[in-house]
Every structure is written in C-alpha cells, then in structure tokens.
C-alpha cells in the first residue's frame, strides 16, 4: 500500500509539471516576460530538492497546487488571446480575398483592352477612367499581376496561421482539462499524506523525476518562435518582373 501511495503521488507531481510546461509553451513565444516567467517557474521547481520534499511533502503539494491554479489561469488567458488572434486573422484574410476579386476582375478587363488596342493599333486606351499609352498599360498589367500573386500568397499565409492557432487552442484546451484533473488528485494525495509519512521510494522517484523535468524545460527553451501577424503582413510586398508580361497576357 505504501508503494502504491508513493507512486500515485509521483504521478500527480509529474502530471502537474507537464501541465505547467504545456501551458508555458502556449504562451512562451508571446513576449519576453512570458519567457522570464517560464524560467522563474523552472527555478522554483528546482528549489524543491529531494531533501526538501522529504522534509515537507505537504508543502510541496501546496506548491504544486498553486502552480496548477496559475496554469489554469494562464490557460484561460491564452484561450482569449488565441480567439482574438483568430478573429483578426479571419478579418485580414477576408479583406485580402475581397481585394483579390476586385484585382482579378480589373486585370482581365485591362488585358482585354490592351489586346484590342494592340490589334487596332489605337493608343491610348481608356481603363478605369484613365488614358494609358502602350508602355503605361503594360506596366499596369505587370503591377496588377504582381499584386494579385502577392495577395494570393498572403491569403494562404493567413490560412496557415489560422490552422496553427487552431492546433494551439486544442493543446491549451487539453492542458486545461488535465490541470483540473490534477487538482482533484492533489486533494486525494494530501489526504493520504495526512495519515502516512513520505516513503523512501517516493523520495527516490522524485530524484529521478527531477532530471526528466530539467530536460523537458531545456527542450521548451530551444524551440523556435511562431509567425506574428506583422510578419504575415510584411509578406504582401513583392517586386514585379517585366519579363513576365508576355506570360501574363497569354493567360485567359
């Protein structure tokens, strides 16, 4: 019975640390303060040496309970932030799609007018209320085609970012559920500690667990960042290559 109780308590501690790390990953790349908080949490866990845990297992469970509650609050904040980002991305994607429709229609109109003017050898042509000589019309075709290509890629980036946010939200939801589950297990193990002292088996398992926690946090620190909305918007800029004019004009 003692061995089972010890292993159960270890399981709670491992799960709590996992929840804290998962929540940390969800917010880690949002800002520098978030990274600092992750490192602070790691340092606080490191203070609980095997000797300190053996001396005060109830205090350690209280510490874990505090960190789990903090993780739950971070989870709630992350869900709100992710939802806001999703809404912003969708609006930006829709705005881009609307501009694409207008641009594609205008480009086809200009190409038709260019072909007619070239056949009739009659310049300037009139497009969108403006008179365009042949070279001006050619540059306008290239510019529109370049912008359409750029906006198409940007729309794809918005979609990819939205997909990434959906995955992130799923992870946060999962961590939220597991954190709440750990609160229940902490309560059970606190009741067990009230009637039985910490065992050598539990102490040894906690020593082994510490190394695994440190490795996990190092892995978290070494991960790359996510793409920001500003990064996505910057991708809308693209240079136009005049050599593509003939290719563009061939498209129907």
Q: What is the H or E stretch that residue 83 is in?
A: helix 57-120
**CATH number of the domain encompassing residue 241:** 1.20.1170
Q: DSSP alpha helices (H): ranges in 121-223?
A: 134-195, 200-221
Per-residue pLDDT at 226: 39
* DSSP-H helix ranges across 29-56: 32-47, 50-55
With 0-12 / 13-18 / 19 or more C-beta atoms within 10 angstroms meaning exposed / middle / buried, residue 238 is: middle
Task: Identify the pLDDT of residue 32.
Answer: 54
For residue 199, cis peptide bond before it (omega within 30 degrees of 0): no
Write out the residue range of the structural domain in which residue 80 sits: 2-250
User: For residue 204, what pLDDT is reported?
Assistant: 54
**Number of domains forming the structure of the chain:** 1
Using an 8 Å Cβ cutoff, are 143 and 149 in contact?
A: no
Residues 242 and 117: their CA atoms lie apart, in Å, by 20
- Provide the pairing of β-strand 130-132 with 125-127: antiparallel
Give the tokens for residue 75.
């989870």
Tell how far CA 191 is from the center of its chain. 39
Tokens of 76: 């709630």
Provide the token pair at 131: 């008179």
Bridge partner list, 132: 125
pLDDT score for 71: 80
pLDDT at 77: 87
User: Residues 76, 78, 83, CA angle at the centre, nearest 5°?
Assistant: 100
Residues of the chain short of pLDDT 50, as ranges, are 1-19, 21-22, 26-30, 205-206, 209-229, 231-240
Of 225, 187, 152, 228, which Cα lies nearest the Cα of 61? 187
Return the closest-CA partner of residue 46 out of 223, 200, 209, 197. Answer: 209
């Amino acid at each position: 019975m003692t061995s089972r109780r010890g292993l159960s308590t270890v399981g709670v501690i491992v799960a709590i640390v996992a929840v804290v790390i998962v929540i940390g990953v969800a917010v880690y790349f949002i800002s520098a303060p978030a990274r600092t908080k992750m490192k602070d949490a790691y340092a606080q866990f490191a203070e609980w040496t095997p000797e300190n845990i053996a001396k005060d297992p109830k205090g350690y469970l209280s510490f874990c309970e505090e960190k789990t509650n903090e993780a739950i609050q971070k989870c709630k904040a992350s869900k709100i932030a992710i939802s806001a980002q999703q809404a912003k991305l969708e609006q930006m994607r829709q705005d881009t799609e609307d501009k694409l429709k207008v641009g594609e229609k205008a480009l086809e109109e200009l190409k038709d007018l260019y072909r007619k003017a070239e056949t009739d050898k009659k310049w300037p042509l009139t497009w969108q209320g403006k008179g365009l000589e042949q070279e001006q019309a050619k540059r306008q075709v290239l510019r529109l085609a370049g912008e359409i290509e750029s906006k198409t890629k940007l729309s794809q980036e918005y979609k990819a970012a939205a997909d990434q946010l959906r995955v992130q939200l799923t992870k946060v939801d999962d961590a939220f559920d597991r954190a709440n589950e750990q609160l229940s297990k902490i309560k059970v193990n606190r009741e067990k500690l009230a009637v039985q002292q910490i065992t050598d088996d539990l102490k040894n398992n906690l020593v082994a667990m510490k190394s695994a926690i440190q490795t996990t946090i190092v892995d978290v620190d070494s991960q790359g960042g996510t793409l920001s909305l500003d990064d996505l918007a910057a991708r809308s800029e693209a240079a136009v290559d005049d050599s593509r004019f003939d290719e563009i004009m061939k498209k129907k």
